[in-house]
Amino acid sequence: LLSKQIGINATHMRLPKTATEEEVSTHFRSKLHSETIHGLIVQLPLDSIHKIDTEKVTNAVAPEKDVDGLTSINAGKLSRGDLGDCFIPCTPNGCMDITLNVCVQNTVLSAKRFLETHQPGKWNISYTKLNLQKPVPSDIVISRSCVPKPVDRLAKEVGLLSDEVELYGKTKAKVQLNIVKRLQAQPDGKYVVVTGITPTPLGEGKSTTTIGLVQALGAHMKLNVFACVRQPSQGPTFGIKGGAAGGGYSQVIPMEEFNLHLTGDIHAITAANNLVAAAIDARMFHESTQSDKALYNRLVPLSGGQRKFSPIQLNRLKKLGIEKTDPSALTEEEITRFARLDMDPSSVTWQRVLDTNDRFLRKITIGQSPTEKGYTREAQFDITVASEIMAVLALTSSLEDMRQRLAKMVVATSRNGEPITTEDLGVSGALTVLMKDAIKPNLMQTLEGTPVFVHAGPFANIAHGNSSILADKIALKLVGPEGFVVTEAGFGADIGMEKFFNIKCRYSGLRPHVVVLVATVRALKMHGGGPTVTAGMPLPKEYVEENLELLENGCSNMRKQIENAKHFGVPVVVAVNGFKTDTEAELDLVCRMAKAAGAFDAVRCSHWAEGGAGAVALGQAVQRASEAPSNFKFLYDLELPIADKIRIIAQKIYGADDIELLPEAQHKVELYTKQGFGGLPICMAKTHLSLSHEADKKGVPTGFILPIRDIRASVGAGFLFPLVGTMPTIPGLPTRPCFYDIDLDPETEQVNGLF
């Protein structure tokens, strides 16, 4: 790290935790005699720094001339104890000329400055000035007009060491998970979740508010702040217009990098998901065409004169209760149980995925080539973000934990009712290998130069719709106790926020300080009885002219969503995301109604048109709310029966009178309870356009029974998802997809027409 700053030829070595002074000294000397170097950067494990007497080491390796300022670096470093690097300058012949000596003095200054400015809780970060235009240009034009800081510089500004960062080009980087260990003793910052009222099909600017808020907290209020957002699915980018990187002057940039490929995490999920699918069908095929013995001989082949179980196969044996490690020791009955997964084709719940809006893959028949000998079956493709592997990525807390979750995923049921997992298929290790880079959060920046983690984007429908726990955790350490992490939950508060609390926070152990509830005059009017709005169509006049009556009626939905947040004991700040057609009286009314409904505060904001400057009032309200008392609690206990957990959500959050379990759902309640999955949290798959299960019921519907059609299990991710109605899991392309407008300028290499 320091070597880059110092800019002289340096070398790295990592010493074992148990290194003695003699070993350190020997390492240094051998290094010094083998290469021409000007100095050494020593990385000492944090827990060993007290064991090593640095002065002795220094004397051992650079004894001839003392170097002014050197001891003070070491002292400074070691006394702080939070940074594992110390610097010992020396030359191969042990002598140091005046130039280098002076450089070293300079180094001392650099190192001191670095340490002073990189203390957690005090970033030395440069913000990017916005050059606001009116009317506000298109998202891609704004994104392009701002030159992002080199991401390695941003990483340094927020306290990441260069060894912890993997650059992906100049504007994106991955952060290695070893940072979790380095910062484990560091206290967390304040944790803010952004959610919304029940939205219109146009969306109400939750992402934009998330980004606007962090621009305000950072560039304007000079606080350490991170936004943690979901990676968007690439498929819809080419379907119907609508960016996911925020919008206007509150965006993650470069927005085309954000919306396309990013660092390949979603592609890795596609590959991993489809490897499981291929393994399922290939296994059913091979089992159906081979005897138990032939199957076993192929699964545990003779190689170099011996047969051996692979570690993954030993895991399966353990699960079956067969405590043997010698393949020749299995009985015939054990061979059958081991070799034959005996999956019921009709029980396969694992689908193939693509990150493409391909409606013709919603239902397909596979296996029709003669090579598959007639073993056809009906199957489907989902969009990649609907893969359970995406939910695993979002909910995992470490590489080890991800390995375990990826092994527990249930893909089908055997003919005698046993759940069959990816570990049974033998594919769990390969999945972990495919996902080893995807697990590292992606660092990007806002238009105003504040940091953003973009990591995981599970479907907010059949999954929980929240970005990753790992990104939130790392960000909370990086911002320090006075800093803020703002994360976004998908859809309205009844869906994304409820899952944020009951699923994500349950697995992460993190406790949020503030809920920001985004409301718009447009959506509230719709809830008050205004006409339907459709993406791509002009807005009816109710939405572009003042109408206080509709608005006041519609505030019922906001009131209910505020109550929903307060069920969890967390203060709520309402952010009224202003549109240019909103009137003063309308905006005032919403704020008044929000406070009357129990919001800690309610403020209007204009970050879309003005960037962070338009969300400073919101930032200040959030800061105050973060200091208010909060008393977080979950909505339900995991130990409750499955139906009770579903009922609590339906009644308390949706306002239903009761739930009705349809036969398939009733069957699954029994099956999952028997299979031991009854203790998982619940992830409702319900429309986001109404508090009820009927998308056209606006406001606060009452007097309804919530029908549960079916229940599915994402055992690896760790939740059951009851299906309320039918859920489309892969979108289609309209007659004129927005790809008609998208092109690359081969001269400038700029992307045109993307939002």
- Catalytic positions are 206, 208, 230, 241, 460, 491, 579, 608
Output 632 or 739, the one with its CB closest to a second copy. 739
397 near a second copy, rule: CB under 8 A: no
Do β-strands 172-175 and 165-168 pair in parallel, antiparallel, or remain unpaired? antiparallel
C-alpha to C-alpha distance for 189 and 183, rounded to whole angstroms: 12
Q: How far is the CB of 12 from a second copy (least distance, A)?
A: 8
Output 400 or 545, the one with its CB closest to a second copy. 400
Q: How far is the CB of 286 from a second copy (least distance, A)?
A: 4
Q: Which position among 1, 160, 279, 533 is part of the footprint of a second copy (CB under 8 A)? A: 279
User: Residue 582 is which amino acid?
Assistant: D
From 342-350, 398-406, 410-418, 446-454, give the range in contact with a second copy by CB under 8 A. 398-406
Q: How far is the CB of 187 from a second copy (least distance, A)?
A: 26
290 near a second copy, rule: CB under 8 A: yes
In this structure, how many other beta carbons lie within 10 angstroms of the beta carbon of residue 134?
Answer: 7
Transcribe 529-568 into DSSP letters: TPPP--TTSPPPGGGTS--HHHHHHHHHHHHHHHHHHHTT
535 near a second copy, rule: CB under 8 A: no
C-alpha torsion angle, residues 487, 491, 495, 500 (rounded to 10): -10
Q: Which position among 282, 320, 628, 662 is part of the footprint of a second copy (CB under 8 A)? A: 282
- The pattern of x and - marking residues 119 through 158 that bind a second copy according to CB under 8 A reads -------x-----------------------x--------
Q: Which position among 362, 595, 652, 697 is part of the footprint of a second copy (CB under 8 A)? A: 362
C-alpha to C-alpha distance for 39 and 37, rounded to whole angstroms: 6
Q: Which residue has the tokens 């703002």?
A: 486
364 near a second copy, rule: CB under 8 A: yes
- The pattern of x and - marking residues 66 through 105 that bind a second copy according to CB under 8 A reads --------------------------------xxx-xx-x
Eight-state DSSP code of residue 275:
H
C-alpha to C-alpha distance for 420 and 343, rounded to whole angstroms: 7
369 near a second copy, rule: CB under 8 A: yes
C-alpha to C-alpha distance for 690 and 527, rounded to whole angstroms: 9
8 near a second copy, rule: CB under 8 A: yes
From 364-372, 500-508, 544-552, 574-582, give the range in contact with a second copy by CB under 8 A. 364-372
Surface-to-core class of residue 195, CB atoms within 10 Å of its CB (0-12 exposed, 13-18 middle, 19+ buried): buried
533 near a second copy, rule: CB under 8 A: no
Q: How far is the CB of 579 from a second copy (least distance, A)?
A: 17
Q: How far is the CB of 137 from a second copy (least distance, A)?
A: 15
Going 684 to 685 to 687 to 693, the CA torsion angle's sign is negative
Q: Which position among 22, 80, 94, 360 is part of the footprint of a second copy (CB under 8 A)? A: 360
From 88-96, 162-170, 327-335, 514-522, give the range in contact with a second copy by CB under 8 A. 162-170
Nearest residue to 452 via CA among 106, 173, 684, 47: 173
18 near a second copy, rule: CB under 8 A: no
Output 372 or 694, the one with its CB closest to a second copy. 372
169 near a second copy, rule: CB under 8 A: yes
User: Residue 139 is which amino acid?
Assistant: D
Output 377 or 652, the one with its CB closest to a second copy. 377
C-alpha to C-alpha distance for 171 and 360, rounded to whole angstroms: 36
Q: Report residue 364 as tokens.
A: 């397909």
Q: How far is the CB of 646 from a second copy (least distance, A)?
A: 27
Per-residue CA distances from 742 to 138, 140, 233, 386, 749 (Å)? 13, 11, 17, 26, 13
Do β-strands 85-89 and 39-43 pair in parallel, antiparallel, or remain unpaired? antiparallel
Q: Which position among 69, 121, 201, 367 is part of the footprint of a second copy (CB under 8 A)? A: 367
Please report which helix (H) or strand (E) contains residue 658, including its range. strand 658-661
Q: Report residue 341 as tokens.
A: 């997964």
Transcribe 75-127 into DSSP letters: HHHHHH-S--EEEEE--TTS---HHHHHHHHHHHHHHHHHHHHTSTT----PP
Residues 176-235 that bind a second copy (CB under 8 A): 234
Do β-strands 658-661 and 705-708 pair in parallel, antiparallel, or remain unpaired? parallel
366 near a second copy, rule: CB under 8 A: yes
Q: Are 684 and 465 in contact (CB under 8 A)?
A: no
Residues 307-336 that bind a second copy (CB under 8 A): 310-313
Q: How far is the CB of 523 from a second copy (least distance, A)?
A: 23
Q: How far is the CB of 234 from a second copy (least distance, A)?
A: 6
- The pattern of x and - marking residues 416 through 445 that bind a second copy according to CB under 8 A reads ----------xxxxx-xxx-xx--------
